[in-house]
Structure 1
Amino acid sequence: MAVKVKSREVLQSITAYPLGKSILDIQKELGLPMVRNMSEIENVFGCSPLVKEQLKKSLNQLFHYPDGSSANLTLKLSEFLGVDQNQLFIGNGSDEIIRLLLRAFLNHREEAIMADITFPRYRTNVAIEGGVPILVPLESGVHNLSAMYDAINRKTKMVFVCNPNNPTGTIVPKSDLIAFIDKVPENILIILDEAYYEYATSEEYLQSISLLEKYHNLVILRTFSKVYGLAGLRVGYGIMNSFITSELTKVKEVFNVNQLGQTAAVVALDDQGFREDCIRQNEEGKAFLEKALHSLGFSYFPTQSNFMMIHVNIDGNELAEALLNKGIIVKSGKPLGYPESIRVTISSMDDNRHFIEALKMAVKECVQP
């Protein structure tokens, strides 16, 4: 029997986030002894051993509600980053903070400016909250800040800059970004999504926290899901003016960040050696892939993250399927806005080598008449 209740009109133009099959399902379906997942932008080296040990000790406390203020983590981050505690907001991943910013600050039909090819949840959540997403094309895979500034009008409430950008891995030169921040009217929120901050090693990458004192409309988002390897526990944080944190507190769920996630994040900050080792291995993997791809004649966006958008001049869906049949999962660039590209997570050296060998064979299969 058909359901007669109608959902909100805005949902008619929104599709659910596509979730892929599990590795176990893929192995069974294709009869593969092993599958290497290089499609999800995760830290393939896991999380700190210290985190695992502490979580074991915390299992007897699960009957307690989590601390709704995330006090221990807020204090730890305050000391680690050198900011006041009231400048920090802890979220269920930085995704939640994006939703809460929209809930707290975006009125009906107000506009939010963003790149056309970037983290897709900006656009989706703006629409769900009744706002209007304004999409500005990237330029060679990089945010076109000049065009984004030109898009500002009296309806503009916020601007999103994903830096490094997902899915291209590119950064905006720091001088350009500072000049942009300086020009944007102070009544418009500037949201710098720095989920991949720790992987950016270029001298051209902006160290943004020092700008908060001057620009009260600046919001910086970071996460424990990437380099700290805690994606399964969903912990993100924002650094911003204390007025903004107070407004977000009004619209958040009371117990928005789970107990184990808070505990793990505190311990992860204590193990900076693990973080540095992950960054080092990522740099080594990136250098290997860049050299191998260059020798094969493939181009790619210069990445400052733990993934690469590789241009293969072949239908991205077709190549991703060919790689899947060889036990390598990658993300087709087609749904991401680059139809003849694939996005690949920089992984362990063993996985990186297997990917290159599988890529050579898959390309030959795809170009055969």
Structure 2
Amino acid sequence: MSCDFMALATLGVQGLMPYEAGKPVSELERELGISNIVKLASNENPLGPSACALAAARAALTEATRYPDSNGFELKRALHHHYGLDADLLTLGNGSNDVLELIARVFLNPGDEVVFSEYAFAVYPIVTQACGARAVIAPAHEYGHNLQAMAEAIGERTRLVFIANPNNPTGTALPRDQLIAFLDGVPDNIVVVLDEAYTEYMQGEDIPDGLELLPHYPNLVVTRTFSKAWGLAGLRVGFAAASPDITDLLNRVRQPFNVSEPALAAACAVLDDTDYLQRSVEVNRAGMNQLEQGLIRQGLGFIPSHGNFITVDVAREAQPVFAALLREGVIVRPLGGYRMPHHLRVSIGLPEENDRFLRALKQVLAC
């Protein structure tokens, strides 16, 4: 006798598909039996971890039989030193994805609505639907957030608004004045989540800093991660900054020990490694220019990016191009799931990795 477990699941979960992450190198090695693979699929830092962070994580492993500090005292103290954030404003997460889910669990009931942009991060619709809420997707403008359309999409049942700045997977970004004007118009009882996973890569004078805006908007939550510019994607650590009232609610549903001790230690250490962050930004800037110029030479369009990746229009169905690149030992990310069937997202790598991608892409598109 069998059981229909799908019928037992909540309605929101029944309609979900698992999140599809970038293909790991080991998986491609198993599938095709090839080596010397370049992975440019998951927006990882190509420098490898900071030596300081690596040493701290290794030292923390000597206490691997002990649970980590569930409150993350030392990391919160390091965040206070680096950003000026008090501990009662901070919620630590197993990457920023973890805190995005916490926010949804705290504020969403079945039938509530969540506003976010077309082409926005795939986790937003996942956490929305898992809670039984309804996604209200505002049309994008030139692949980026159209804040006027998002404001118009807010209704009586809206509980959350997600904004990614810069946005993944398109790399588009909002200027400070537009973001402030939007926040000024959002009712106080609607929580706005500003996802700043890639903020360290942004350049220019009109760059918004969500952490500086927090004192002015009690309904604002800012999420950050150590996975990108800080180079700790494999250790999974991020945080949310918000008013004490919101932070208290998030910590009520946060799992105890949700960040491992090596991750806590590495995050503390890397915050002091300013040279590493500077090199990460410089390598990214140079690599972005390398890819842009290479794509221009091949006559390909791309979306100007403020992150550590670039989204390329290959002017044909991108899935076969992605598959052909895999056979050349180059892993990128197709964006059909984002309703961008002609686009590939390519992470910025080291110079030789970027060159490998450009050569492979030219060869594949010539076939």
Q: TM-score, normalised by structure 2?
A: 0.96
Q: Helix, strand or coil: the match of 1:213?
A: helix
Secondary structure in 2 aligned to 1:232?
coil
DSSP-derived class of the 1:43 partner: coil
Indicate the residue corresponding to 1:263 in structure 2.
265
Q: 1:31 to 1:65 in 2, by over 3 A?
A: closer
Which amino acid in 1 is paired with 2:4?
A: K
Residue equivalent to 1:152: 154
Q: Extract structure 1 runs of 4+ deviating beyond 4 A.
A: none
Q: Does 1:281 align with 2:289?
A: no
Give yes or no for the alignment of 1:355 onto 2:345. Answer: no
Correspondence 1:179 to 2:196: no
- Once the two structures are TM-superposed, the CA of residue 180 in structure 1 deviates from its matched residue by 0.4
| CA deviation vs aligned residue, 1:218-267 (integer Å, no higher than 9, x gap) | 11100011111111111001111111111111111122111111111000
Determine which of 21, 29, 32 is the counterpart of 2:31: 29
Which letter does structure 2 place at the counterpart of 1:131? Answer: A
Give the C-alpha shift of residue 22 in structure 1: 3.7
Aligned twin of 1:208: 210
Within 5 Å, give how 1:55-204 maps onto structure 2. 55-204=57-206
Does structure 2 conserve the Cα–Cα contact (< 8 Å) formed by 1:41 and 1:307? yes
- 1:15-54 CA-partner distances (Å, limit 9, x unpaired): 1112455423423433423211111111111111011122
1:9 CA drift (Å)? 2.5
Tell me the secondary structure at the aligned position of residue 135 of structure 2.
strand
1:39 aligns with 41
The alignment partner of 1:323 has SS state of helix
Query: In structure 2, the residue corresponding to 1:46 is in which secondary structure?
Result: coil
Q: Per-residue displacement from partner, 1:174-219 (whole Å, max 9, x unpaired)?
A: 2111110111111111100000011111333212222111111111
**1:272 maps to which of 271, 274, 284:** 274
The reply on whether 1:342 has 2:351 as its aligned counterpart is no
Structure 2 residue matching 1:157: 3-state secondary structure:
strand
Residue 4 of structure 2 is matched in structure 1 by 4
Q: Which amino acid aligns with 2:205?
A: E
Matches of 1:309 and 1:77 in 2, distance apart? 32
C-alpha separation between the residues in 1 aligned to 2:312 and 2:47?
Answer: 22
My pick for the range that moved more, 331-340 or 148-157, is 331-340
Question: What is the rounded CA distance, in whole Å, between the counterparts of 1:209 and 1:57 in structure 2?
Answer: 31
Cα deviation, residue 163, structure 1: 0.6
SS where residue 167 of structure 2 aligns? coil
Q: In the alignment, is residue 323 of structure 1 matched against residue 334 of structure 2?
A: no
Q: Report SS of the residue matched to 2:124.
A: helix
**Aligned partners of 2:30 and 2:72: how far apart in 1?**
42
Separation in structure 1 between the aligned mates of residue 248 and residue 41 of structure 2, nearest angstrom:
37
Q: Once structures 1 and 2 are overlaid, which stretch shifts more, 205-214 or 112-121?
A: 205-214
Give me the TM-score of the superposition, normalised by structure 1. Answer: 0.96
Q: 1:219 aligns with which of 210, 221, 230?
A: 221
Deviation at 1:7, TM superposition (A): 2.1
Contact 1:113 1:156 in 2 (8 A): yes
Q: Specify whether residues 121 and 278 from structure 1 end up closer, same or farther in structure 2 by C-alpha distance, changes over 3 A only.
A: same
Task: Give the deviation of 1:121 after TM superposition.
Answer: 1.1
Would the aligned equivalents of 1:38 and 1:329 in 2 still touch at CA under 8 Å?
yes
Aligned residues: 365
Distance 1:322 1:129, change over 3 A: same
What is the deviation of 1:84?
Answer: 1.9
- CA deviation vs aligned residue, 1:64-118 (integer Å, no higher than 9, x gap): 1111111110011011101222111111111111111111122221111011211
Q: Aligned equivalents of 2:281 and 2:22: distance in 1? A: 27
SS at match of 1:135: strand
Asked if residue 13 in structure 1 is aligned to residue 15 in structure 2, the reply is yes
Equivalent pair of 1:66/1:257 in contact (CA under 8 Å): yes
Give distance in 2, aligned partners of 1:150 and 1:19.
Answer: 32
Percent sequence identity over aligned pairs:
35
Q: Larger deviation: 229-238 or 51-60?
A: 51-60
